[in-house]
A and B are shown apart, each in its own frame.
Chain A
């Protein structure tokens, strides 16, 4: 986000006065409090247990050791968890965007009858607590032999995310220039061509924002994956880290390593997606 400067305000910066440094200092203190947990996690993830026992949590590591990280990685088979999370989040992002696109095409461009009611339906679905779906989903996935599969998690989240996507895209599509649609129809475009040759290329930035949100939201999900994925080799990163926390009596450095490994992928996504995210947040499309 730092790479996107704010629109400059109403005055040229005038740098006189020392009062401004008090405000800056106050902000820096608040910032320090906000970032301290990250710093503590990072320095302790690289300590040996002996180092930690001797000097406590706030000292600089005497020697940077990756033993804790390696041990945690192997203990939970972290590569597998990363793979599961990537597979689930990417599939949901693709399918969720596709479903939103088809729905919004019918509602926003086609303006079919009853679209207001359908939009209200999608909006209400978007605010439903997952607690009100969880038991039937758990029960039905067992009935259909889909329990404890990545497939069912992908299916469920694609639909849940597309409820939001349909709502957002429909309002974007309803402002789509009519002339463009009519020109395409006159050129003999059928509806499928209209969607994929005209509308998709024009709305690519919005679709990118949706894709990014769906990916990150799904990556961060905890409640439903916790219930639907019970075997170790199918769990996602947050579940693996979260469940381990509760179960085993871990050493401090190992605990810290697990937190670091949980943070790291999100931090990487943040850096990769920050431009899309900033645009999306500015567009007000944040849940």
Chain B
């Protein structure tokens, strides 16, 4: 599909900026997700031992 008409102007600034920060944001979110996963796992372990 070649439906590429952009009826809103995405603005080069917002597009290029996402490329610049996506790496750091990805790292932060991955770390958070990993940390939340560990917390959930520990929580489950802890509550099952009760």
- Same complex for A and B? Answer no
